[in-house]
Chains A and B, each alone.
Chain A
Amino acid sequence: MSAVTFSGVEKSFGSVAALRSLDLAVPDHAFLALLGPSGCGKTTALRILAGLELPTAGKVSIGDRDVTRLQPRDRDIAMVFQSYALYPHMTVYDNIRYPLRIRNMSESECRKKVTDVAATLEIGHLLDRFPRQLSGGQRQRIALARAIVRDPAAFLMDEPLSNLDARLRMTMRGEIKRLCHSLGTTTLYVTHDQAEALTMADLVAVMRDGVLQQVAPPAEIYDQPANRFVATFVGVPPMNVLPVEFGRDGIQVAGGVLGLSDDRRTACLKAGVSDVGIRPEDVELVAPNQPNALNGEVYVVEPMGNETLVDVRVSTGRLVVRTRRGFTAAIGSAAGVAFDTHNACFFDAQGLTRVHRAPSKGGE
């Protein structure tokens, strides 16, 4: 009963339009990650849902209640603020307990809940301190604890892991996912880290400049991005995009010719496709001057431990290739790259995806 819906929500601050007509529905019990670059309006969307900001237009509902004009305290939500927003005059224990105290929970029950949450977030040893005696990452976990200690209709989390070190972030990622799953609480999770969005969420919503670009499950966001922005924002390293021309026997990319099936070719021509996109893991390195491959030069080789990223410059741009661990090549040496155009997607001049990656034929 606590699906969250934005219908036609707009918000402008003076002349700055932070949200332009946001339509977004988070189904009950779902975990939705709101993903987008800095300044795209993620926090604004959360604040409107929390009731801290009035939308310029549109409607917000939680469950079947229209909450657009309700006070924050009447919305039954718990929020993790991007800036933590801890109570500076209270100890960590009192901070986490505060929402329970407001709800007149008995002291013994409070103590049990707070201790449990603190153990989950590895902050049990900090309970007697004051917020100013903590590091950024510790404060962030207190803010998280204060939210999840409750059992609200929805969790709103604004980049709750942004200040943690890499190891802790991985651990917490898993903990939050498990917790939200076991509580079954509808969660709106803001992040600009696409790995977090993909690994944690049931649904990912990608935003840019206040405009929602795509809402889909993580796999679909990754495999069938709605447009060039989503394709290049999601994935590390991002999808390679190069201009494409259509010749008689396939496509021409950076001087190389690659085969393309007839139906995809027809679809591309009909849609006025101008660019091709291919994920780094779908590109292969081959010997230079081979048929059905493009020629380029190794710009840099980056060993990642479990794999190697090779940045190849071709005549119309660059291509990042993800290849096996232990791969080496001299910087500046000639290289050939090739990919199966079934795995590519094609964008028109406006950046919309007109032809998607073909359904997986094994392998990836």
Chain B
Amino acid sequence: MKDTKQPIVEIRNLSKSYHRGAEIIPVLENISFDIPEGEFLALMGPSGSGKSTLLNLIAGIDKADSGTIQVSGLDITSLTETDLTRWRAVNVGFIFQFYNLIPVLTAFENVELPLLLTWLSRKERWEHVEAALHMVNLADRMDHYPGQLSGGQQQRVAIARAIVTDPTILVADEPTGDLDRTSAEDILGLMAILNREFGKTIIMVTHDPHAAEKAHIIRRLEKGILNVHA
């Protein structure tokens, strides 16, 4: 059944290096792989192996040196900065290790933020935000500011923000990295539901083997080279 799925992400010969002065630090070297639609993929590997870098490239917030990344048939490496920004707003939901909520906005307003870039009316926005907060079980906390929420709750707000625009791909960079066991389980369960019941393709970077267990596929990065572990 899985094999019939179309790849939603096709990465071909992707390379990326950083320059520090005259020194060139190669991070990703000639990486090629596919991510099928509706997949829950865990990216693992030692620190500094380039996981975040790869994730950022797939999510369109960083530029590769060479190679292509096709997402739903569109080569995002060929897009201009402005088009890429617009593409992200529609297609990608972001979940970060440190939640990255805006501290002066309430949970509700944080979730509403990405919807400001859409043509939705105030009322429609309200409905979407409410639905998203319901989904992460935080409808009763929507007037709270991030500072008034626990880490796990903040991360749930961040997940609501990531899904409120209904993107096809969710990227998560160590989403449980800053959480205790219970909260982490909570978040991972939520992500599993999003994957299973809402068909979201999820790409998650993690150090945590427990977290990786929730995924269907685990891929390991070792010094910029990709290994497959199903």
Specify whether A and B are partners. no
* B residues in contact (CB < 8 Å) with A: none
* A residues in contact (CB < 8 Å) with B: none
